[in-house]
Structure 1
Amino acid sequence: MKNLVMKENIRKYSRIILPVFLSLFTILLIRIFLFQIYFISGYSMAPSYKEGDLILVTKLGFPARIGKWEISFLEGRVNRFEVLVLDGLEEELSLKRVVGLPGDYFRFENDRVLINDGPLQETFLKPGFKTIAPSLSMIPMTAIKGNVPIGDAGRIPPGYFLVLGDNRENSTDSRNYGLVPFQKLRGKVWIFL
């Protein structure tokens, strides 16, 4: 009799616990590998993104991090001017815009950045914003493991990206911590909420 009651209780609780566990596991998988919501902190991407803005980031095709492990199923395609979430300074995530792609030649000149010797059509920047060269920056260069330090000109190696904040005068970006490898990209902004 006790065994029958115990089996019935196990069946009853498993009908409740199993769906809850599977739901939580599914949500966790979605958050790790597919999508995540972020609140913007800081003004390095102003005026495009401001403090307190909410964004939905797609992680599909980008390395997922679980503790110290990184898992990557597909290699995502990164296009010029896309806004990415990436590893920044001291384990912080950063939001930056891709300006230079692998193989591009970049040069900082006359308060702007040139890619392949041509000016970029950066319609997202406020008029009058200046893109200060790394050598003239007030923010010191910071060595980050895996990043490639840059000067005022150079070619971007395979697998690396030149990223800049839209608020060029108040952004810590590739000018300060170098070219960012694909492995440090966490996802791209999909929807501005």
Structure 2
Amino acid sequence: MKSFIKEWGLFTLIVAIIIISRWLIWSPVTVDGHSMDPTLHDQERLIMYRTKDIDRFDIVVASEPDGNGKEKLIVKRVIGMPGDTLRFENDVLYINDEKVDESYLKEYRDAFAEDKLQSIYSYNKQFQSTAQIAPAFTLDSNFQPQFTVTISEGQYFLLGDDRLVSLDSRQVGSFSKDAIQGKIIFRMWPLNRIGLF
């Protein structure tokens, strides 16, 4: 009986730790859509670490109301921090008047320059049409390649990496710290792309 309790006691403790940590510390998340391509792909499975310690360029999970007033979770990248002034000029980002390299956009910006993403977007005619008439890869909600945004205190400006198809802070506004659930720390599926962020 002692050995049974000893073996199962340890197992029960491990299970309890996993369940409690799942509730308090981490959460599984599934990517829904193409707004974070090519960094994250549709239906990839991720692990989110619950934290309010958010840094620029973190990939975060935020909540926003959907069309029916229910909460939906989105996965985006933090571009603007509280108090920042962001300026985009023909695919070049300036943060507080300092030029910033967005290396995570290189593949899609190069493809945009080559063929306006027509080969990459071959799976979606609407994406192809949008890219075909776009004057740049990063546009504001009025389809303009030059725009400036000032972020209020306590707010974060979130953008998808696939700027032409992402619905993000350009359309819905900035996100409060309370709306940010945590940041992505690990990709667990598919197995050929597993790894830490």
| Interval containing the TM-score (normalised by the shorter chain) | 0.5 to 0.7
Residues 1:130 and 1:119: Cα distance change in structure 2 (over 3 Å): farther
Computing the radius of gyration from Cα coordinates, the structure with the larger value is: 1
Please, which of 4, 7, 22 is the counterpart of residue 31 of structure 1?
22
Deviation at 1:92, TM superposition (A): 1.0
Aligned to 2:82: 102
Matches within 5 A, 1:1-193: 26-59=17-50, 61-62=51-52, 76=53, 78-90=54-66, 91-125=71-105, 126-127=108-109, 128=112, 130-136=137-143, 152-192=147-187, 193=194
Letter paired with 2:138: T
Higher helix share goes to which structure?
2
Distance 1:134 1:113 in 2: 16
Deviation at 1:178, TM superposition (A): 0.3
Secondary structure in 1 aligned to 2:170? helix
Contiguous gaps of at least 5 residues in structure 1: 1-17, 63-75, 138-151
String of CA shifts for 1:92-133, please: whole Å, max 9, x gaps: 100000011112111233344432123321111122371111
Deviation at 1:23, TM superposition (A): 6.8
Contiguous gaps of at least 5 residues in structure 2: 1-8, 113-135, 188-193
Residues 1:93 and 1:124: Cα distance change in structure 2 (over 3 Å): same
Q: State whether residues 93 and 102 of structure 2, in contact with CA within 8 Å, keep that contact through their aligned partners in structure 1.
A: no
Distance 1:176 1:188 in 2: 22
**Percent of residue pairs identical:** 29
Cα RMSD for the two superposed structures = 2.7
